Structure 1
Amino acid sequence: MLTLPAALLLAAVMATLWTAWRSRSLPSFPGCGNFVLMQLSASWWATAAAVESIVMAPADKLFWAEMAWIGIVGAPSFWTLFIWSYIQGELPARWRLVPAVAGAATWVVALTNDAHHLMYTATKPVSGTPGAALVYDHGLWFFATTIYLYVFMVMSVVVTAGGIRRTSPAHRTHYLGFLVAMAVPWLANIGYVTGNATLFDLDPTPFSFLVMGAVFYWLITRRRLFELLPVARDVLLDAVPDPVLVLDVEGTVVEANPSACALIGGAPTGGPGRSPVGRRLSDLPGMAALARLGVPAEAPQAMALALDGPDGPRSFEVTRVPLGAGPRTVGCLLMLRDVTHRRRAESRLEDTIRRLDGARREAEEGLAAEQQAKQALSGFLSMAAHEFKTPLAIIDGAAQLLLLDAETKAPAMLPRLEKIRRAVRRQVNILETCLADDRLNDPSFAPRCDLLDLPALLRAAVAAQADAAPGRRIELALEGCPPRMSADGPLLELCVHNLLNNALKYSGPEGAVLLAARGRHKAGGTPHLELSVSDRGIGIPPAEAARIFDRFFRATNTGTTPGSGVGLNMVRRIAALHGGTVAVDSRLGEGSTFTLTLPLGKDEVPAAVPVPGNATGASG
């Protein structure tokens, strides 16, 4: 039969379960899980007490009294864990094993009481009325469990009292509310144990825990404690390394963290260790400039502050944040960030930048002087090359006249005169290469665009190289060669001369050199010229093939063969100026093939049939 106390307890249980569900749906807060477990434990305890009042048989009442013990142990234990987590900081989840193990052990002892009577030594009804409540004589385990629960409840009171002492005035009323709520189960349990207070002949403690949970839920929802998250001051304020001051509307310091106390207490005119709380900000040493930020404002403000310290001047960035709800401002928060090291680093950085700027200017001046010297040197070399060409031309002309006269008067002099002419041509080629290299180094240089008779140019180049290397065989393959193309004639001729000279230089006297020219179309249909020079010489080491076109680079297997490492680099640069490329395919000890690829215009497409007289020939 449903009794009035049972109905009250079950109604309280339903309300408690609703608050537990609502607690889980609120924003996360420290100790939330322990708070919900406390509510569930208290609900189980109250439900068992309600069923105990409903059943009629004494044995059934005893059974439900035993069933309640897991909630009896859990409610105070989880409450203490919650208070600790909420005020001191979140406890690890493993601490929940303590009430879980203690509650399970007590539950087992209670359900097996008939075997050992450690929980109850005797029971009797309070009256002869059917369904009357039972009076219990308790055993040793009951008193041990009571001490355990009282220790937890005392711990919760101590933690809350410590929070009241250390917290700011804004949170003290909330913690006082915790103490008032905790007094309810204390008074109820003490009254029941001493026999001075019962609720319809039942233990009022479970009902008091439900009331305590409801009061606390009202506090945290009405006073918005979940949004404030008032964990311990040493977590929220003391652990902040930067000085923090809280001012009221009058400019009086109402709160200061240890960093702020140390900053003000260590000021030159302030007493060491003197707390700034209760003093006006304008009266604190070195803080008069901050008083201007203490005036009301709707938005955060910032300023710079300099204070003298034991290690020299210290720099701070000060931020003021107004405190209050809505249009009503009750004070402000001043946060001082020490930026001394940053300012010193910025000063050092500025000095370094100034030094770097000076070094840059010196480097620019040195570079300009070097460029001027280089230009002067280039001008001198150009002038010297032109000056050398004139006497070389005179020598070559004189040698030609002597050759005509020696053919009839001194035939034995012919080889020597030919040797003189070959030496002159070599010197002229070197001078032409130097002059061309100097022109290519000029950023403003642009190649000419002449319409060239390509086969004639190639034959002339072969003839010149054959004259310079008598006894050497140069084969010329002009099948498919375009009859004309647009290019810089002297530069293109210089490319051919360098490639042929390179092939003759690094191949044996018995090996032939092949010069082939043909027109081709790329995959996209763009016509281009492929001009290749092949030899059967020493080849290029595979590891060095990628560098063969670098300026002044020579392969390691060239030995004592004369060369400057400029010719192939010039070929690549001339090809690039014409929008073309040059590549090499070489096998060590077998020979090399250098392929020069240049674009052709639409009117320079190779003829369908070979140009007459362009068949493969040989010179030498």
Structure 2
Amino acid sequence: MTFTFNIYAILLILFGSVTIALAFFIYRKGGNAVRWFSLMMFSNAIWSIAYGFELASADISQIKILLDIEYIGIATVPLNWFLFCLHFSGKECWYKKPLNIVSLLFIPVVTVLMVWTNSYHHLHYASAKMATGTPFPMIDLTPGIWYQIFTIYFYLIMACGCFLLAIKFRKSDPIFRKQNYSLIVAAAIPWIANIAYLLGIRPLGYVDVTPFAFVITSFLILLGIYKFKLFDIIPLAREKVLELMQDGFFVLDKDYRIIDYNQSIKRYINYTPNLKLIGSSLEQLLPDQPNFLEMLNRHAPGKIELDVPVDGEILSLEADIIFLDDNKINNDFIIIKLQDLTAYKKEAIRSKEQSNELERLNQLKDRIFSIIAHDLRGPLVNLSEVLKMIANNQISNDEFRNISPTLSKDIIYTTDLLENILHWSRSQLKGYGVNKEVFNIRNLIINEINYHLPAAELKKIKIIHDVFPGEMAYADILMIQIVVRNLLNNAIKFCNPGNEIHITANYQKNKTMLVCIEDNGMGIKKEVLGRLFKDENITTRGTLNEKGTGLGLIVCRDFMIRNDGNITVTSVEGKGAKFCLILPVGELN
């Protein structure tokens, strides 16, 4: 091939080469939208360089070969432009459908084949000959029918891409405005140049000014990259990222009105389809937040926690306030990020509850071990030693009769202690159930009185009950039996000989039953009274020096709570004590 270079050819080849380098540079910036734009520039470069060599050629056969190369770029320019616009506007899923991609590729592929085989059918160019009256050799082409079809396709697909950009830019933030303008101006120049060439407005004669227009476009894009940071931040990134984020975002103006938001924000406010967020005031959407508004008024960036009622539930939100003038962008805008901390707070509360439960169980374990080590071991050791002495004939029958009352007390104490430890320990285990049923409270009380009669008669204590037949309670009968047993045992323990114990049971107006066990014994000291039911191991010797386990009242309180009841105590030291149980009631079927 032979070439005679002129100024037009040199400029096209030179700037086409620059466009290739620029396309490669932009491609490396990453992102699908950016890469489709760089492919469009590469198509422009093929068109420009091949057209430059065409203008430097004088042989028509050589020019036709270069035309074949040119159309690789010409046919793919509108395609790459449209794909770039799809990605830039977030519509890239459209072309991924097989039918759509075939329809996009059909015209470009057929056009290239038409140009390459034009000498057989002349559908693209009706005729091709060397022009006369031009300053340098050029080809004079007469368009054919397929040329007209391709021209319509070219402008239609370019117009569709520009329409997508226009919609995108209309919704974009002001921060992207300079980027948008530079891209729109750059895209418009080749349009104007090509339309003028087709309309016969040809300042350079037969020379097509469209490739030169693309050279200007390349320089505008280059200017946008360095001055406006084009493609460093694009509106697509904002929309894609913010709409997918779980955190909610508000953009406010200086009057605290909403000018932008993402979809996640709707979960953090009382949103309804009729509510127009744009233009609404922040106080309208997040009412009753004085501390939050005070931070805004003080122009104080930072984080603050908000409790916001949404659909009947209180959400714990963390609001992060960002004033854009801190970044020297614009002092009229405020960004509010709302993060939902409700789940984290619930988890923190649950973890704290588990920690408290674990600590409580550890204390329970320590208390049980302490009781077993001190209170349970002593009586068993004493009993073991006495049995050894009897086996070794070291003690007479009279001596055994003298110590047997003490041993009997120790055995009764040990039995009560083991019973309380067993029931209390089981009740503290997770999953231990309460088997509620309707039962006759009078029968239960009479059975417990009969159980404690020997101990009461030993101290000459009278037990009087005033419970009518047929009075029913609804609770776990075993638990209530243990509660009554402990309270009756304590009453006997702290009564002096000749005292009385009164047991009553009456229905209350609030559909509960009040069961009271009252004695006129030694009573409870004022400083001890306030410590009862406080998970403290309080033990006090009885009137005849009887020992206590320190677990009885703790068991009573736990069992009453588990049965949706309560236990109270009143006492005057020296005049006795009165324990009352509040129980749910039931009726026989």
User: What's the TM-score once normalised by structure 2's chain length?
Assistant: 0.57
Is 1:191 paired with 2:196? Answer: yes
2:11 corresponds in structure 1 to 8
1:235 corresponds in structure 2 to 240
Amino acid at match of 2:229: R
Please give the residue correspondences for 1:307-386 in structure 2 after superposition, counting only pairs within 5 Å. 307-324=308-325, 330=331, 331-347=333-349, 350-351=352-353, 354=356, 357-372=359-374, 375-376=377-378, 379-380=381-382, 383=385
Is 1:275 paired with 2:277? Answer: yes
C-alpha distance in 1 between matches for 2:373 and 2:240: 66
1:115 corresponds in structure 2 to 120
Task: Assess if the C-alpha contact under 8 Å between 2:268 and 2:315 holds in 1.
Answer: no
- Aligned to 1:231, the other structure's residue is in SS state helix
Task: Assess if the C-alpha contact under 8 Å between 1:308 and 1:314 holds in 2.
Answer: yes
1:219 corresponds in structure 2 to 224
Structure having the higher Rg: 1
* TM-aligned CA deviation for residue 34 of structure 1: 1.5
Task: Assess if the C-alpha contact under 8 Å between 1:264 and 1:276 holds in 2.
Answer: no
Match of 2:74 among 50, 65, 72: 72
Amino acid at match of 2:304: M
- What is the root-mean-square deviation of aligned Cα atoms in Å? 3.7
- Aligned to 2:243, the other structure's residue is in SS state coil
1:174 corresponds in structure 2 to 179
* TM-aligned CA deviation for residue 47 of structure 1: 1.0
* TM-aligned CA deviation for residue 186 of structure 1: 1.4
Q: Deviations over 1:410-455 (max 9, x none)?
A: xxxxxxxxxxxxxxxxxxxxxxxxxxxxxxxxxxxxxxxxxxxxxx
* TM-aligned CA deviation for residue 173 of structure 1: 3.6
After the TM superposition, which of the residue ranges 287-296 and 156-165 deviates more from structure 2?
287-296
* TM-aligned CA deviation for residue 260 of structure 1: 3.5
* TM-aligned CA deviation for residue 325 of structure 1: 6.7
- Point out where structure 1 has 5 or more consecutive residues left out of the alignment: 393-620
2:428 corresponds in structure 1 to none
C-alpha distance in 2 between matches for 1:264 and 1:226: 34
Match of 1:387 among 374, 386, 389: 389
Change (3 A) 1:198 1:128: closer
Change (3 A) 1:230 1:302: same
Change (3 A) 1:170 1:180: same
* TM-aligned CA deviation for residue 380 of structure 1: 4.0
- Aligned to 2:236, the other structure's residue is in SS state coil
1:604 corresponds in structure 2 to none
Q: Deviations over 1:265-304 (max 9, x none)?
A: 649xxx9503243746689634554323335779x61111
Q: Deviations over 1:584-605 (max 9, x none)?
A: xxxxxxxxxxxxxxxxxxxxxx
Q: Deviations over 1:215-265 (max 9, x none)?
A: 223223311233324216542333333321123456454322234467556
Q: Give the number of aligned pairs.
A: 389
2:21 corresponds in structure 1 to 18
* TM-aligned CA deviation for residue 187 of structure 1: 1.2
C-alpha distance in 2 between matches for 1:100 and 1:37: 15
Amino acid at match of 2:338: L
C-alpha distance in 2 between matches for 1:181 and 1:296: 44
Match of 1:145 among 140, 145, 150: 150
- Aligned to 2:181, the other structure's residue is in SS state helix
Change (3 A) 1:280 1:354: closer
1:88 corresponds in structure 2 to 90
C-alpha distance in 2 between matches for 1:334 and 1:365: 53
User: What's the TM-score once normalised by structure 1's chain length?
Assistant: 0.55
1:246 corresponds in structure 2 to 251
Change (3 A) 1:380 1:207: farther
- Aligned to 2:58, the other structure's residue is in SS state coil
Q: Deviations over 1:530-563 (max 9, x none)?
A: xxxxxxxxxxxxxxxxxxxxxxxxxxxxxxxxxx
Please give the residue correspondences for 1:501-580 in structure 2 after superposition, counting only pairs within 5 Å. none
Task: Assess if the C-alpha contact under 8 Å between 2:85 and 2:165 holds in 1.
Answer: yes
* TM-aligned CA deviation for residue 25 of structure 1: 4.3
* TM-aligned CA deviation for residue 312 of structure 1: 3.1
Task: Assess if the C-alpha contact under 8 Å between 2:319 and 2:338 holds in 1.
Answer: yes
Amino acid at match of 2:81: W
Change (3 A) 1:157 1:376: same
1:293 corresponds in structure 2 to 295
- Aligned to 1:316, the other structure's residue is in SS state strand
C-alpha distance in 2 between matches for 1:296 and 1:197: 63
Change (3 A) 1:152 1:201: same
Amino acid at match of 2:51: A
C-alpha distance in 2 between matches for 1:383 and 1:212: 109
Amino acid at match of 2:306: L
C-alpha distance in 2 between matches for 1:391 and 1:200: 141
- Aligned to 1:121, the other structure's residue is in SS state strand
Task: Assess if the C-alpha contact under 8 Å between 1:35 and 1:82 holds in 2.
Answer: yes
Q: Deviations over 1:556-591 (max 9, x none)?
A: xxxxxxxxxxxxxxxxxxxxxxxxxxxxxxxxxxxx
C-alpha distance in 2 between matches for 1:171 and 1:72: 30
Change (3 A) 1:290 1:255: farther
1:255 corresponds in structure 2 to 260
* TM-aligned CA deviation for residue 149 of structure 1: 2.4
Change (3 A) 1:325 1:366: closer
Task: Assess if the C-alpha contact under 8 Å between 1:178 and 1:216 holds in 2.
Answer: yes
1:305 corresponds in structure 2 to 306
Amino acid at match of 1:29: G
Change (3 A) 1:328 1:258: closer
Task: Assess if the C-alpha contact under 8 Å between 1:122 and 1:136 holds in 2.
Answer: yes
Please give the residue correspondences for 1:371-450 in structure 2 after superposition, counting only pairs within 5 Å. 371-372=373-374, 375-376=377-378, 379-380=381-382, 383=385, 387=389, 390-391=392-393
* TM-aligned CA deviation for residue 16 of structure 1: 0.9
Please give the residue correspondences for 1:592-611 in structure 2 after superposition, counting only pairs within 5 Å. none
Task: Assess if the C-alpha contact under 8 Å between 1:243 and 1:336 holds in 2.
Answer: yes
Amino acid at match of 1:32: V
C-alpha distance in 2 between matches for 1:85 and 1:116: 38
Change (3 A) 1:78 1:188: same
Task: Assess if the C-alpha contact under 8 Å between 2:250 and 2:261 holds in 1.
Answer: yes
Task: Assess if the C-alpha contact under 8 Å between 1:56 and 1:130 holds in 2.
Answer: no
C-alpha distance in 1 between matches for 2:285 and 2:374: 68
Change (3 A) 1:296 1:22: farther
C-alpha distance in 1 between matches for 2:274 and 2:124: 60
1:127 corresponds in structure 2 to 132
Change (3 A) 1:389 1:4: same
After the TM superposition, which of the residue ranges 374-383 and 70-79 deviates more from structure 2?
374-383
C-alpha distance in 1 between matches for 2:317 and 2:111: 59
Amino acid at match of 1:35: F
- Aligned to 1:237, the other structure's residue is in SS state helix
Change (3 A) 1:185 1:306: same
1:43 corresponds in structure 2 to 45
